[in-house]
Amino acid sequence: MINTFRVSGHQLDLVLPATWVTIPLQPQSVRARDVRILVQRQFRGVDNQPLLRTETEHQLLVSADRAADAGADFLALSLMQVAGVPIPASMVAHSIPLESGDPRESTGCLAVLDRIIESLGDVESQHPAARLARGRVAAGDVLRRVAHRPGHGIEGSDPPTVIVADYWLPWPDDHGTALLCFSTPLTTHQEPMLELFDAIVESVHWTSPGDSEDIDPEEIRDR
């Protein structure tokens, strides 16, 4: 499934597994309804994971609300199952322009990533276990940060720990960056989950407007 969003006069296309779906972030009532429908679908026939189901729904509702509040482009959720066991995960896509007038604004994609690393300094001091790594995919240079963070716990219970993997990809004109934020509560399966997230990011490529079609978020209710 190809998903598209526009940034800086270009389109960013990425391929999600067929078991992932996108949901509209607005309005809130539709967003909440679709998250609940998806969780019901993912856990259909799974009666021995009530806590995981409740935590997954709560985590996704909070993540969807925060993504909408932050002006995210879209939210994608996993409906994957392995041997009948749900594999919960999510991805939020953002487009982030650099501040206009910054003299470093047009000094290339590596400089864009350097600025991101610099801005992450204070954050990383609070999360020393976070791992930063640079790489290259078809869309160009990429910066990945992996960390374990407290999730959004249900009231009266300890918050679950989640894996958060953030990927920054500079725009083709280097005036901003696309940010893909993945998360999953499956901390005991970190490496295969990161391999999945890496594969999705490796599918990213930039095209000119009109070269690909937008995915209609309403399709979710037709599946």
The per-residue pLDDT for range 129-173, each reduced to its tens digit, is 568 888 999 888 899 999 888 776 555 567 778 899 999 998 887
DSSP 47: -
What is the pLDDT at residue 60? 84
For the stretch 83-100, pLDDT in tens is 888 888 999 988 888 765
- 189: pLDDT confidence band, cut at 50, 70 and 90? very high
pLDDT at residue 9, rounded to an integer: 61
Closest CA to 133 of 121, 125, 142: 142
Please, what sign has the CA dihedral across residues 51, 52, 57, 63?
A: positive
pLDDT at 193: 96
Give the whole-angstrom CA distance, residue 13 versus residue 47. Answer: 37
pTM of the complete model: 0.76
Query: Given this model, what pLDDT does residue 203 score?
Result: 94
Instruction: Tell how far CA 2 is from the center of its chain.
Output: 15
The number of beta carbons lying within 10 Å of the beta carbon of residue 58 is 20
Query: Which residue ranges form the domains of the chain, and what is each CATH number?
Result: 2-222 (3.40.1000.10)
* Contact (CB, 8 A) for 43 and 60: no
Give residue 200's pLDDT: 95
